[in-house]
Structure 1
Amino acid sequence: MGVPKLQQRLYNLGSDHCVYNNNNYDITANNISGFYKDAKIFITGATGFVGKALVEKLLRTCDELDVVYVLMRPKRGMSVEQRLKELLKNPVFNRIRDKDPDVFNKVRAVSGDVSMPKLGLGEAERSRLVEQVNIVFHSAATVKFNEDLKNAVILNTLGTKRVLELCEEMKSLKSFVHVSTAYSNSDKETVEEMVYKPPHDPNAVINSIDILPQEGIDLLSKKLLGKHPNTYTLTKAMAEHLVLESSSMIPAAVVRPSIITAAWKEPYPGWVDNVSGITGIFMECGRGTIKSIICDDKCTMDLIPVDIVVNTIITAGWHTAAHRSNTMRVYNCTSGAVNPITWKEFGRLTHKYWLQYPSKYVTWYPGFTYRTSRFMHVICAHLFHLLPSAFLDVFLYCTRQKPIMLKISKKFYSALDAGKFFSTNQWDFKMSTMGALVSAVREAEDGANFEVDMTPDNGFSWNFYVRDFILGVRQYVLKDDLSSLPSAKVKLNRLYWFQKVFQALTVYTLFKLATR
């Protein structure tokens, strides 16, 4: 019997101690950071939004860990060591930099790629990981909704399989946490904390995309999607099944966050560093460039702050070992069941605080409308998104500036179109396992350092969160600190009166045309 299988057998039998490298490790300790003492951690996806926050939280809170290996690939002519140095310059690490910059020496880049056989690891590097690593966090994935099937399968499904194969070789693995998505089962209205049978056999799909030409893959994609809205949710569902299959050999868990947004508290309220998905749309609403959104405003929107996600990942790793279970745990890391907010209310708060804290980069006076009619949305998008952007590009070209507004407008129009499935539906995410984790963290000696409870009773307020989200977008994405606020308000006032004049001229023109 191989070491990982023996390890899992002890795990399932509920032994008080598990033997790793001939040392007894007491996994009954009621201390989360204590679990990570001397840990050797392997992380995929460390350069992503969640990955950065995960590395930062581990270094800052579990400061007695031994080493964090991050899988990275050379990019844009930069070695993995150079990329790691750039990563650690990110503002997310400022608290650590101010307190103890020497802790960065614990982070080591490992050259590799989940899209390559054996993760692209050299023999020596792979051997070192197999011998040393005892905790793995797998968050590498493509989150593009419009990704073609082949890339999505390679990155999300096959990449997960390759990480699992590495984990099965590890001699002292205590915990493996796979970061999935709450929408991996978006074809179901009620989503339990379990791995559902995927619509297709993951291994068969992997083999198919390996041998079929692109034309065949395109045809296959339409058939495989079924009730899934895109390749992202489909390939994530198949990846979960692979994790479930491997859970008989390794101690595994799945964390399913919903729509990940800016930080609630850590490392800073409102911290965010990308414009993908809802954050980009949120930002453009504030700049006034988005006027129409396909959405059923009565639906609950399920947002989850990135620090809640990161704390759930870390505590799930601890929970998997310290509170053993005979079945693999799945954590629905969502907000709709514990602290719901509708699209309508979120939109009201968004408009309120963008008017209170406008950015100097505001382009039109902020204001948008939710609508369920795709026909009306297309008309409004052309009138209020694409046409004004084209006029602005003409102005930019005439003033010898780079015309980019139409390109930006098309990008966010595509994002709105890709997200309409999620803004016109809602799901009932069950949270019994997540609730058990909240209770376990609350009872842990250092549970207060790993906040996973975002209920109103625990102090979470959507009103204050949306405000901090806007301030975070201003500071971290737009690089626009509050010193610009007075001039931004003056600009906003001019845009308000410009909009009123424009509306009056439009009404007058339409009236004259009608009477003629």
Structure 2
Amino acid sequence: MSSSPNMFHFNDFNNNYIEDPDYIRDHIGDFYKDTCIFVTGATGFVGKALVDKLLRSCSGLNSIYLLMRPKKGRAIEERLKELLDNPVFSSIKKRNPDILNRIKAVAGDITLPNLGISAKEYQMLIERINVVLHSAATVRFDEELRNAFIHNTLGTKKVLEMCNKMQQLKSFVYVSTAYSNSDKENIDESVYELPFDYETIMNSIEMLPQEAAEVLSKKLLGRHPNTYTLTKAMAEHIVLKHSDLIPSAIVRPSIITASLKEPQPGWVDSVSGITGIFMEVGRGTIKSIICKENMKMDIIPVDTVINTVLTAAWHTVAYRSNTMRVYNCTSGNTNPITWKEFRLLTEKYSKEYPSKYVTWYPGITYRTNRALHAVCVNLFHHIPAAILDVFLFMTKRKPFMLKMSRKFEEAIMAGKFFSTNQWNFEVTSMRSLTKAVQMANDGEHFDVDISENNGFKWDDYVKNFILGVRQFILKDDLSSLNQARSKLNRLYWFQKMLHMMTFCVVTKMALSVLMASMSRNTLEL
């Protein structure tokens, strides 16, 4: 990094950058000027948005090094090319294509010693890197404890071990989850004590036999819903432990959904979790979800998360603190929306902007009775999917609907903990960050405020969310809208006819039972 006297000076005694408050606090983008940034998790939903934002709003940076794992025989150069072909980088390619040359792929694996990076590249990184943004994780809720631990907890430890060796590091940000302490109702912006010695677990879990690891998993989980939230909580402790030597921050996003503004409203490229479920709600293939509809649904746009990560790195340097900051990047205490309100908006805009891939007329019911939900899943999800698969098979196409229906039901069941509970997230640090960003000269480019006072409206957001799913996931542009609306209209009348037929059949059966009963009574008389 080429140091600028207006920005930083390097303290040779403690190997930490010291900010010039008069400059750094006013210029978030310039905090990244000439910096070399190391990013993990770049191929994920959050990672792609993060890299895109760095290129667009921090164009003065030197280089972005992406830790990438060679996969299925493909070299990292091929994986990097595939990453940059993603639509998220379309605007960058049009406006400033040369800046893409600043992205460097580093072959490695977060589960391996020294992150699986070659000795030469490892040395280069510890000499050059100024900012580390760590978002790599396995986000599967049903992940076996050992794998979740190796990726989420030990992986974080390995990243921090490298950070300890970095000669010019000024900031480290760990992307955790707001649900790392989901066993509590009120969640402060602090790292909570664990009910066990995580270091003992860390030293033994990799060597345990599979059966012993499963027994340990059940004991450790306690009130945690899954291994993802548990191993994220453990990783936070490792970050806290290293924060005495490394300027660190933790960002805890809630459920991450489509973008609010950047790279464009509604951008999304992942169907995991909530996005996939409500995509199918819009297509009419999901009719029942286990949910308490009047509880708060805490979701956060991906670009708000990215802006929080980037400004947290800046905030750590520009506004130093004696303790490590934790930012609960959530919406529930800032601009709440209930599950019912989100459902109504989803149905509204799914009907206004249907996809040509709509299968049934959209409409969903939230239920808390699991037995009734199971009946509805079979009647309205699996059986119709099986019928469609028969049609696909008969027309010599590959059946997939039943498999997909079961996959989304698994997602619903995995997420039921989050749709039947709610949390009160403290946002003091987040508000402090918001205020600091608003005071910066270029703060409007790093907006982290989703309050109504800042113009955020859920109605507009859900509309763009539905349009984004349509465009980026279903690959269905608005040129098919008239065709889709005609199809939706036919499905509406088909549903009405089906309801009428069902009513007639049920009525006939009821009358038959009644007549039979009356006949028996007459004979007895």
1:246 to 242, 248, 272: 242
Distance 1:265 1:20, change over 3 A: farther
Q: In the TM superposition, what is the alpha-carbon distance from 1:200 to its structure 2 partner?
A: 2.8
Contact 1:200/1:238 (<8 A) preserved: no
Q: State how far apart, in whole Å, the 2-side matches of 1:143 and 1:210 are.
A: 19
Equivalent positions of 1:54-93 (< 5 A) are: 54-93=50-89
2:296 to 273, 281, 300: 300
Residue correspondences, number:
501
Distance 1:499 1:115, change over 3 A: same
Structure-2 residue corresponding to 1:318? 314
RMSD: 1.4
Structure-2 residue corresponding to 1:397? 393
Equivalent positions of 1:134-153 (< 5 A) are: 134-153=130-149
Percentage of identical aligned residues: 62
Q: In the TM superposition, what is the alpha-carbon distance from 1:224 to its structure 2 partner?
A: 1.1
Q: State how far apart, in whole Å, the 1-side matches of 2:19 and 2:246 are.
A: 18
Structure-1 residue corresponding to 2:436? 440
Q: State how far apart, in whole Å, the 1-side matches of 2:106 and 2:408 are.
A: 34
Contact 1:18/1:26 (<8 A) preserved: no
* Secondary structure of the structure 1 residue equivalent to 2:275: helix
Equivalent positions of 1:106-121 (< 5 A) are: 106-121=102-117
Gap runs ≥5 in structure 2:
1-7, 514-525
Q: Which amino acid aligns with 2:30?
A: G
Q: In the TM superposition, what is the alpha-carbon distance from 1:292 to its structure 2 partner?
A: 0.2
Q: State how far apart, in whole Å, the 2-side matches of 1:405 and 1:241 are.
A: 43
2:343 to 322, 347, 365: 347
1:37 to 27, 30, 33: 33
2:211 to 184, 196, 215: 215
Equivalent positions of 1:103-502 (< 5 A) are: 103-502=99-498
TM-score (norm: length of structure 1): 0.95
Q: In the TM superposition, what is the alpha-carbon distance from 1:222 to its structure 2 partner?
A: 1.1
Structure-2 residue corresponding to 1:19? 11
* Secondary structure of the structure 2 residue equivalent to 1:98: helix
Structure-2 residue corresponding to 1:7? none
Q: State how far apart, in whole Å, the 1-side matches of 2:79 and 2:37 are.
A: 19
* Secondary structure of the structure 2 residue equivalent to 1:187: coil
Contact 1:201/1:238 (<8 A) preserved: no
Q: State how far apart, in whole Å, the 2-side matches of 1:208 and 1:256 are.
A: 28
Structure-1 residue corresponding to 2:520? none
Q: In the TM superposition, what is the alpha-carbon distance from 1:80 to its structure 2 partner?
A: 0.6
Q: Which moved more, 1:318-327 or 1:389-398?
A: 389-398
Structure with the greater alpha carbon radius of gyration: 2
Q: In the TM superposition, what is the alpha-carbon distance from 1:219 to its structure 2 partner?
A: 1.6
Q: Deviations over 1:399-422 (max 9, x none)?
A: 111110000000000000000010
Contact 1:145/1:418 (<8 A) preserved: yes
* Secondary structure of the structure 1 residue equivalent to 2:441: coil
Q: In the TM superposition, what is the alpha-carbon distance from 1:63 to its structure 2 partner?
A: 0.5
Q: Deviations over 1:350-402 (max 9, x none)?
A: 00000000000001110000111111111111111111111111111111111
Q: In the TM superposition, what is the alpha-carbon distance from 1:20 to its structure 2 partner?
A: 6.2
Q: In the TM superposition, what is the alpha-carbon distance from 1:17 to its structure 2 partner?
A: 5.0
Could you list the runs of 4 or more consecutive aligned residues of structure 1 that deviate by over 3 angstroms after TM superposition? Answer: 20-27
Q: Deviations over 1:29-69 (max 9, x none)?
A: 22101110000100000001110000000011110100000
Q: State how far apart, in whole Å, the 1-side matches of 2:173 and 2:17 are.
A: 22
Q: Deviations over 1:189-248 (max 9, x none)?
A: 000000001233333222332111112111211111100000010000000000000001
Q: State how far apart, in whole Å, the 2-side matches of 1:203 and 1:296 are.
A: 37
Distance 1:24 1:259, change over 3 A: closer
Q: State how far apart, in whole Å, the 2-side matches of 1:508 and 1:271 are.
A: 45
Contact 1:357/1:471 (<8 A) preserved: yes
Q: Which amino acid aligns with 1:355?
A: K
Contact 2:327/2:429 (<8 A) preserved: yes
Q: Deviations over 1:171-191 (max 9, x none)?
A: 111000000000000000000
Q: State how far apart, in whole Å, the 1-side matches of 2:172 and 2:85 are.
A: 28
Contact 2:16/2:168 (<8 A) preserved: no
Contact 1:27/1:35 (<8 A) preserved: no
Gap runs ≥5 in structure 1:
1-15
Contact 1:189/1:426 (<8 A) preserved: yes
* Secondary structure of the structure 1 residue equivalent to 2:126: helix
Contact 2:28/2:314 (<8 A) preserved: yes
* Secondary structure of the structure 1 residue equivalent to 2:434: helix
Contact 1:209/1:217 (<8 A) preserved: yes
Q: Deviations over 1:238-273 (max 9, x none)?
A: 000000000011100000000000000011000000
Q: State how far apart, in whole Å, the 1-side matches of 2:66 and 2:390 are.
A: 45
Q: Which amino acid aligns with 1:427?
A: W
Q: In the TM superposition, what is the alpha-carbon distance from 1:23 to its structure 2 partner?
A: 11
* Secondary structure of the structure 2 residue equivalent to 1:77: coil
Q: Deviations over 1:472-513 (max 9, x none)?
A: 000000000000000000110111111111222222223333
Contact 1:112/1:119 (<8 A) preserved: yes
Distance 1:220 1:26, change over 3 A: closer
Q: State how far apart, in whole Å, the 2-side matches of 1:24 and 1:168 are.
A: 14
